[in-house]
Amino acid sequence: MASPKLIVFGPTGDIASVAALTARGLGAHVVLAMRDPSKPIPGLAAELEARGGFERVRADLADPDSVAAAVTTTGATRAVFYVDFASTDGMLATVRALHGAGVDSPVLISSASVHNRGVPLERLVTHGADEPIARAHAAVELSLRAVYGPGGYVALRPGFFASNSRRWLGGGQLASGRVTLDFPERVFDWIAPPDIGRVAAHVALRAGGAREVVAEAGGAEGIVLMGPRLLSGREGTQVIARAAGFGEVGIEEILDEDAAVRHMVEKQGLPEIFARTLAKHGVDYAMTEENTTVGPANVVKFGDGKITSLEGWAAAHKEAFN
């Protein structure tokens, strides 16, 4: 049976680029959908692309008509896409465009911020104004449920990306020997973005589509993904520093919420609404015992049987910290 054609939105990113390359390695024809189709794709050499199996198309998730056109013209039946935080309708029009154009099994890169919160997704949307990350992802998951129905889609819910560390450790900060951390004792799972991309590709290309995956996940469309080991910000920083070849570094702490918000906005470039959420409680809501047990197992189960350590991710991305 031929592998389905997969359209990957935003393939210049850390996750989607790996999803695209993994899918091609699994034998799928891959459509690279982006606002500027001339952009280079990380890891995709020109000679590899020239061998065939890839095609580029212009599409913008904020423009449902362009999404429908991209799917229709390429004949894609599977899709991997991400949340557009600027959407005012939970990307409902975009999800309808995917469905109407022929995508029968979409995979959303969602967030563990919506997982096991003890409240329905609907409440996160209606009462989650102070939690914009959870609210935005929950809204898109609800749109998928409304259009595709229960079991008709998959929402991957990863935890804290290891690559987020580039915000406070990149740009030569490790080389200086001293870094500034907001609330350094807060704990994260440090999932490697390439692991998310590999899982997305494997899940998107299942012969039985989303329904097969949901059945294997015990009937849940939302599948939490986590890194293999919980580490505090302090511990994770030292792991990255050593793996990137800098040795131990000094750490300056910020323990005041308002000061942390200013630091994240002014030094790391985060929008204030996201910085306020992170300063208030980090990602503690996602670091439940269930998530941090099931999450790593899901990476192995639904991916290629492997999971990347923080040391391994940092060693492979040393250039980001020079």
pLDDT tens-digit map of 141-171: 999 999 999 999 999 999 999 999 998 898 7
In this structure, which long-range contacts are made by residues 86-93, counting pairs with CB atoms below 8 Å and at least 24 apart in sequence? 86/62, 87/62, 87/136, 87/139, 87/140, 89/143, 90/125, 90/139, 90/140, 90/142, 90/143, 91/61, 91/139, 91/140, 91/143, 92/143, 92/146, 92/147, 93/64
Amino acid at 239: V
Based on the structure, what is the number of domains in the chain? 2
- Say if residue 253 is exposed, middle or buried (CB neighbours under 10 Å; 0-12, 13-18, 19+): middle
| Domain range enclosing 140 | 6-160+192-227+291-306
Domain assignment present for 17: yes
> Do 121 and 249 share a domain, yes or no?
no
> Do 251 and 151 share a domain, yes or no?
no
Question: Using one digit for the tens of pLDDT, what is the confidence trace for 28-60?
Answer: 999 999 999 999 999 999 999 999 999 999 999
CA–CA dist 144, 105 (Å, integer):
10
Domain assignment present for 312: no
- What pLDDT shows up at residue 1? 54
Comparing C-alpha atoms, which of 160, 108, 174, 162 is closest to residue 137?
108
> Do 297 and 276 share a domain, yes or no?
no
Domain assignment present for 51: yes
- What pLDDT shows up at residue 248? 93
> pLDDT grade, residue 116 (50/70/90)?
low
> Do 219 and 270 share a domain, yes or no?
no
> Do 106 and 178 share a domain, yes or no?
no
Question: Using one digit for the tens of pLDDT, what is the confidence trace for 265-303?
Answer: 999 999 998 898 888 877 777 788 888 889 999 999 999
3-state secondary structure of 39: coil
> Do 66 and 211 share a domain, yes or no?
yes
Q: CB-hemisphere CA count at 13 Å for 291?
A: 27
> Do 171 and 76 share a domain, yes or no?
no
Q: Look up residue 55 and give its DSSP letter.
A: E
Stated as kind and residue range, the H or E segment containing 231 is: strand 231-232
Query: 193-204 and 14-25 are packed helices; what angle lies between their axes, rounded to 10 degrees?
Result: 40
> Do 10 and 104 share a domain, yes or no?
yes
CA–CA dist 76, 258 (Å, integer):
47
Please, what is the end-to-end C-alpha distance for the chain in angstroms?
46
Cβ neighbours around 234 below 10 Å, total: 15
The CATH number given to whatever domain includes residue 90 is 3.40.50.720
Domain assignment present for 58: yes
Cβ(153)–Cβ(108) below 8 Å: yes
Q: 118 pLDDT exceeds 70?
A: no
Cβ(20)–Cβ(8) below 8 Å: yes
3-state secondary structure of 225: strand
Could you tell me which residues are beta bridge partners of residue 179?
251
> Do 73 and 203 share a domain, yes or no?
yes
> Do 77 and 177 share a domain, yes or no?
no
> Do 15 and 153 share a domain, yes or no?
yes
Domain assignment present for 1: no
Residue 118, sorted as left (phi over 0), alpha (psi -120 to 50) or beta, turns out to be: left
> Do 280 and 148 share a domain, yes or no?
no
